[in-house]
Amino acid sequence: MEVSMSPKLIIVADSQHFKLFEVKKDPLERESTQLLEIVDSLDMHERLSEKVSDQHGNFKGVGVSGAGEDHNLETEWENRRIKEIAKQISEALQKHTHDLWYFAAPKAINNQIVELLDEKNKKNMKINLHSDLTNIPNDKLLEHFTK
């Protein structure tokens, strides 16, 4: 009789991408990753200046008088994105059966994302890397968590 453990999940994120993987084992106990979900936030690919239109006279002369406005918008955008990523993580962990999970996000946003997760999800997270692994090839991802 084969004992089947619930799979491990790997979540990697940066401010523009969210990827969810399941770690599977073959009959020889070799682990591999399978991509379950990927979310590219198209909104993130727009430059801030493209989002803030001056069609109706908004932010005219930002370069001269309102220099702080861009920074405030960028901070607000970053905070909103961090909340969005935490929500995506919570939903993914709820939807996919797992015993434990691994997480990686750039140092600049990692702790802020983790702080927004509930205690159960934090407790089940076994590895947390302060790295951007969103561009690592899928077949090389697991190596970063098993070093």
98: CATH: 3.30.420.60
Is 91 a member of any domain? yes
Is 94 a member of any domain? yes
* pLDDT score recorded for residue 7: 83
Domain that holds residue 78: 8-44+71-145
- Alpha carbons 13 and 116: distance in angstroms, whole number: 14
- Alpha carbons 111 and 96: distance in angstroms, whole number: 23
Is 1 a member of any domain? no
DSSP conformation class of 145: H
- Identify the three-state secondary structure at position 76: helix
Report, as ranges of residue numbers, the positions in the chain whose pLDDT lies below 70.
Answer: 1-5, 42-69
Number of domains in the chain: 1
Parallel, antiparallel, or unpaired for β 17-25 and 31-40?
antiparallel
Structure token digits, residue 26? 């073959």
* pLDDT score recorded for residue 60: 46
* pLDDT score recorded for residue 83: 96
